[in-house]
Structure 1
Amino acid sequence: MDYKAAGAPKMGKKAPKHEEHNAHGSGKKPFGAREDKAALLARMKKAAAEKKKG
């Protein structure tokens, strides 16, 4: 008997054990999609300018 083939197949070592239920880009994302980098940079620049101003 081939005991090596018995049981569940092994996952890769670096593979995640499960998928997140609210991963970005999935259909079940309850909090909307990830915003683009341009919007993030604009928000950071605005906050830095306000902090520098006063």
Structure 2
Amino acid sequence: MDYGTSGGPKTGKKNPRHTEHNAKGSKENPFGQRPSKADLLARMKATAEKNKQNATVER
């Protein structure tokens, strides 16, 4: 008896369960494009300011 052929079909084991919203090659994050340092610094400063404001509100 060939036990390998019994049972249901095997599913893909290496496939991702879902797609990321900012995956490489998508419309939001195309291949070969890097954000500039100025954009990164602006994002970091905005986040730091927001966190600073939230910290003062929580106290």
Taking CA–CA contacts closer than 8 Å with sequence separation of 6 or more, which of the two structures ends up with the larger relative contact order? 1
**TM-score > 0.5 by shorter chain:** no
What TM-score comes out, normalization by structure 1 length?
Answer: 0.43
